């Protein structure tokens, strides 16, 4: 059992709205959260057609929606038994995947998702094509989307690729991280970056079974970037609801992995696999802060502790930062 960051917001929303909708990927823990948060309320299965016929009210304007993501590192560490962030990085944040053979679990999950779930979203899905597309995305993890190139490799149109990607996003499998635009005088990358949201799925598709295999795999950097970004955004969703996430990259190659916008305030996060306290890294991030009009920049790596690298720049190890959000 893992404590969930969503629990407090769920209770608060239930006091203010007649209905609360919990959205998230299949098997992410939605039912477990609802039943543990409201143990005295009756439980009904809305997959039963007779129940659905009696609950067709849309509740538009009367329901609040809460998205439940896979486990954040702080949630996994507080579980019984606790899970170290290195194991969470390898296996991903789905509770059942963490408890056993995550490769076996993900294979069963994928079959159900591709063969049963996709058709329910109106996609005349070819499970083989869908899996090939997911595998290609895994090999290009965190890359700039080029739907035409993906379609050409798969022998389908870019429209087909975009349709599949839209469904992957709706089902919380893929994150499309949009670029941030502010300085119109710079030539900026305009296409989104695409990530498989859960690193367990990423590693399964790339045939990575152990932490040692991950550390020696070419995807290690992109995987670590994914893990850190997703963990930050899982916490950000409850600490600062309504904030927006972007990346920033110029045509000349300057880049920030994650830009968090909270209203008029912005924060920049750069993710490094190795220790990130090199003066060049700090200078590059400091320059980006000016273009982004951001208050502060963080460099997140796998080392220990937190170091101040400048008036607005700090380096922090993931473990030291896992309880809070950039700010």
Question: Scanning the structure block, which residue is given the tokens 């991903």?
Answer: 92
In a domain, 47, yes or no: yes
Where residue 189 falls among pLDDT bands split at 50, 70, 90?
A: confident
Q: Measure CA of the first residue to CA of the last residue in the chain; give whole Å.
A: 30
What pLDDT does 66 receive?
A: 93
CA-only gyration radius of the chain, Å? 20
Residue 110 has pLDDT above 90, yes or no: yes
Residue 114 has pLDDT above 80, yes or no: yes
pLDDT tens-digit series, residues 257-294: 999 999 999 999 999 999 999 999 999 999 999 989 99
Least confident range of 17-31, 49-63, 168-182: 49-63
Tokens linked to 192: 């989104």
Q: What CATH number did the domain enclosing 297 receive? A: 3.40.1350
Least confident range of 1-10, 12-21, 212-221, 247-256: 247-256
The answer to whether 271 and 300 are in contact (CB under 8 A) is: yes
Where residue 243 falls among pLDDT bands split at 50, 70, 90?
A: very high
In a domain, 117, yes or no: no
**Biggest alpha carbon distance in the chain?**
64
pLDDT tens-digit series, residues 305-324: 999 999 999 999 999 998 87
| Last residue within a domain, chosen from 47, 68, 89 | 68
Residue 184 has pLDDT above 60, yes or no: no
In a domain, 19, yes or no: yes
Task: Enumerate the H helices of 186-278 as residue ranges.
Answer: 199-205, 211-215, 220-239
Residue 129 has pLDDT above 80, yes or no: yes
18 three-class SS: coil
Question: Scanning the structure block, which residue is given the tokens 């997703």?
Answer: 230
Q: Among residues 281, 275, 283, 286, which one has the least CA distance to residue 317?
A: 275
What pLDDT does 191 receive?
A: 87
Domain ranges, residue 46: 1-68
Q: What is the mean pLDDT of residues 144-157?
A: 94
pLDDT tens-digit series, residues 209-233: 999 999 999 999 999 999 999 999 9
Rounded Cα–Cα distance for residues 60 and 265 (Å): 31
pLDDT tens-digit series, residues 37-88: 999 988 877 666 666 565 676 666 678 899 999 999 999 999 999 999 999 9
Q: Among residues 295, 299, 301, 306, which one has the least CA distance to residue 318?
A: 301
In a domain, 289, yes or no: yes
| Last residue within a domain, chosen from 18, 47, 68 | 68
Q: What is the mean pLDDT of residues 164-192?
A: 85
Q: What is the mean pLDDT of residues 237-254?
A: 89
User: 206 — phi, psi (to 5°)?
Assistant: -95, 10
Q: What is the mean pLDDT of residues 240-250?
A: 92
Residue 1, CB-side half-sphere exposure with 13 Å CA sphere: 7
Residue 171, CB-side half-sphere exposure with 13 Å CA sphere: 23
In a domain, 309, yes or no: yes
Q: Among residues 98, 95, 288, which one has the least CA distance to residue 180?
A: 288
Residue 250 has pLDDT above 90, yes or no: no
Q: How many domains does the chain have?
A: 2
Tokens linked to 302: 């796998």
In a domain, 226, yes or no: no
In a domain, 224, yes or no: no
Task: Enumerate the H helices of 63-157 as residue ranges.
Answer: 73-77, 85-91, 95-99, 102-112, 118-120, 127-139, 147-154
| Last residue within a domain, chosen from 17, 42, 68 | 68
Q: Among residues 252, 272, 270, 250, which one has the least CA distance to residue 260?
A: 270
What pLDDT does 196 receive?
A: 98
What pLDDT does 26 receive?
A: 92
Q: Among residues 3, 227, 210, 253, which one has the least CA distance to residue 102?
A: 210
The answer to whether 7 and 75 are in contact (CB under 8 A) is: no
Dihedral Cα 194, 197, 199, 203, nearest 10 deg = -50
pLDDT > 90 fraction of the chain, expressed in percent and rounded: 78
In a domain, 310, yes or no: yes
What pLDDT does 47 receive?
A: 66
Tokens linked to 46: 């809305």
Residue 327 has pLDDT above 80, yes or no: no
Burial of 81 (0-12, 13-18, 19+ CB in 10 A): exposed
Where residue 187 falls among pLDDT bands split at 50, 70, 90?
A: low
Q: What is the mean pLDDT of residues 106-123?
A: 88
The angle that helices 147-154 and 127-139 make with each other, rounded to 10 degrees, is: 130
């Amino acid at each position: 059992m893992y404590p969930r960051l969503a629990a407090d917001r769920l209770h608060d929303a239930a006091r203010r709205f007649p209905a609360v909708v919990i959205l998230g990927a299949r098997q992410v823990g939605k039912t477990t959260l609802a039943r543990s948060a409201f143990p005295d309320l009756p439980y009904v299965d809305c997959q039963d057609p007779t129940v659905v016929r009696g609950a067709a009210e849309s509740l538009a304007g009367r329901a609040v929606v809460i998205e439940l993501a896979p486990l954040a590192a702080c949630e996994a560490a507080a579980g019984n038994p606790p899970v170290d962030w290195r194991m969470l990085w390898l296996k991903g944040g789905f509770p059942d995947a963490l408890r056993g053979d995550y490769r076996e679990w993900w294979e069963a999950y994928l079959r159900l998702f591709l063969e049963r779930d996709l058709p329910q979203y109106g996609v005349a899905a070819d499970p083989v094509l869908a899996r090939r597309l997911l595998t290609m995305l895994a090999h290009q993890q965190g890359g700039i989307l080029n739907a035409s190139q993906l379609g050409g490799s798969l022998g389908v149109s870019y429209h087909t690729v975009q349709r599949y990607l839209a469904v992957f996003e709706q089902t919380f499998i893929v994150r499309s991280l949009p670029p941030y635009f502010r300085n119109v005088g710079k030539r900026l990358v305009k296409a989104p970056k695409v990530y498989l949201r859960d690193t367990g799925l990423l590693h399964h598709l790339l045939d990575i079974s152990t932490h040692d295999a991950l550390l020696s795999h070419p995807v290690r950097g992109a995987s670590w970037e994914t893990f850190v970004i997703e963990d930050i955004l899982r916490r950000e969703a409850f600490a600062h609801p309504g904030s927006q996430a972007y990346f920033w990259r110029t045509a000349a190659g300057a880049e920030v992995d994650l830009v968090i916008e909270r209203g008029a305030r912005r924060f920049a996060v750069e993710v490094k696999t190795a220790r990130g306290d090199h003066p060049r890294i700090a200078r590059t991030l400091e320059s980006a802060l000016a273009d982004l009009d951001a208050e502060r920049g963080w460099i997140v790596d796998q080392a220990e502790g937190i170091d101040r690298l400048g008036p607005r720049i700090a380096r922090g190890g993931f473990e030291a930062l896992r309880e809070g959000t950039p700010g």
